[in-house]
Structure 1
Amino acid sequence: MHLRDLIQFLGELAENNNRAWFVMNKPRYDILREEFLVLVTRLIADIGKFDPDVADCNPKKALFRINRDIRFANDKRPYKTYFSAAITASGLKKPSQGGGPAYYFHINEQGQLLVAGGEYMPPADRLRSIREQIAGDPAGFMKVLKNKKLKETFGDLQDEGKLVRPPKGFDPDSPVIDYLKHKSYIVWKETSLKSALPANLGKDLAAEFRHALPLVTWLRQVRTISTEE
């Protein structure tokens, strides 16, 4: 897709985040959105070669809307200033909907590309099930995180929103207690597209998502146990 045009559009949107400007520039948005859809469609096909579980993911449903949900937000700006997509085996994007582990990426108004794999802020039942799986097999979980390609590409798990104290019901002396404090089980990396535009963004994304596969696969096999069971 035309990345320079996308970044330019998003930058202007950030400066004019109102409905009137967006309506005037809707034809630009529609073209860029269609190009982004083509990118995601091809990306799903490429990921499906090494992770067949996502091969049937609907690309239109993988895309996030540009409209922000401002019903309960103090920030009333109506539009996001990034294009984003989440590719999952379930076809659902949001953790609250039971989307499960995802391959996620976005491009923002500053030309920053974020590439991620895993689960971001899963709901309470799901989060507890992941923690219990880690506590029950710490060696198996650490083997995933020590995967060479995963570590070289993304480093360690992101610890955004990490608990200060051990979660209730878990051994504070567990060898993986730091990981049990996490609220998200996700890896990500950020790069600037302004300094060097990729020759083939889709192929680059697929290669990086392939390195996130061990974590996505591990999370996918965690059975979510409802607190009502």
Structure 2
Amino acid sequence: MHVRDLAQYLAELAENNNRAWFVMNKPRYDILRAEFLEMTTRLIAGITRFDPAVAACNPKKALFRINRDLRFARDPKPYKTHFSAAITASGLKKPSQGGGPAYYFHVDETGQLLIAGGEYMPPPDRLRQIRRQVIADADGFSAMLKNRKLRAAYGDLQTEGKLTRPPKGFDADTPHADYIRHKSFIVWNERSVAGMTGDEMERIVLENFRDAQALVQWLRTVPGDSQGEMAPSRN
């Protein structure tokens, strides 16, 4: 993966987010997309060594499209300004598809690499199931939160917003009441890709995915068919 070329391309796309520029630079996009797919394929193989559940994940389906869905968007820009992928046991990405807890990463137009694991903004039914499992498996949830690798790489569970009080049906004095107010069950960290080689980025992403495994594994214990999605995907 030519990391510097990818960051440069995304920065230029952010400045020229229109179809004419995209078409003119399509050969660059095709090369970078192919490299990103190759890296994702290797990452799936790497994850499989410590989490065999993702072995069947199709790397082509793990990648997010560059085109934005403009049907309900206020922002008319047609293209995303990041390359991203979500690796799940089901091989699916989106909450509506039942993708499940995932290992996620992206590189954006500012040259930032984001690495994440867990479920980002799962649908209401799935979120309710997760919250119930926090109570039903309070000891297991506590053990996951204390996982040494998870805490060293990410700290505590993160959220992009949570309820001011416990949701309906949950008491304020219930175990892990603060976490029950979360709308997402995710961890993530970010770093600059400046000066980073493709091999270095691949190694860093894989190491951080391994560190996020405790959360991903715990989320798989949550009952129910709908498995939600992970991490801040910006899709």
Taking structure 1 as the reference length, what is the TM-score of the superposition? 0.95
Any idea what SS the aligned residue of 1:7 has?
helix
Q: Deviations over 1:120-162 (max 9, x none)?
A: 0111111100000001222210110110110000111112121
In the other structure, the counterpart of 1:56 is 56
In the other structure, the counterpart of 2:75 is 75
In the other structure, the counterpart of 2:89 is 89
Indicate the larger mover: 39-48 or 186-195.
Answer: 186-195
Within-5 A mapping of 1:160-179: 160-179=160-179
TM-fit CA distance, 1:225: 6.8
In the other structure, the counterpart of 1:149 is 149
Contact 2:106/2:114 (<8 A) preserved? yes
Distance 2:22 2:145 in 1: 43
In the other structure, the counterpart of 2:216 is 216
Taking structure 2 as the reference length, what is the TM-score of the superposition? 0.93
Contact 2:2/2:198 (<8 A) preserved? no
Contact 1:106/1:115 (<8 A) preserved? yes
In the other structure, the counterpart of 2:114 is 114
Within-5 A mapping of 1:18-29: 18-29=18-29
What amino acid maps onto 1:171 in structure 2?
Answer: D
Root-mean-square deviation over aligned CA pairs: 1.3
In the other structure, the counterpart of 1:127 is 127
Contact 1:125/1:225 (<8 A) preserved? no
Q: Deviations over 1:79-122 (max 9, x none)?
A: 00000000000010112211010000000011100000000011
Q: Structure 1: which 5+ residue stretches go unaligned?
A: none
In the other structure, the counterpart of 1:105 is 105
Contact 2:88/2:101 (<8 A) preserved? yes
Higher RCO (Cα < 8 Å, 6 or more apart)? 2
In the other structure, the counterpart of 1:41 is 41
Q: Deviations over 1:45-78 (max 9, x none)?
A: 0000000000110000000000001110110100
Contact 1:157/1:185 (<8 A) preserved? yes
TM-fit CA distance, 1:34: 0.2
TM-fit CA distance, 1:199: 4.3
Fraction of identical pairs, as percent? 68
What amino acid maps onto 1:92 in structure 2?
Answer: L
Aligned residue-pair number: 226
Distance 2:142 2:105 in 1: 25
Distance 1:225 1:172, change over 3 A: farther
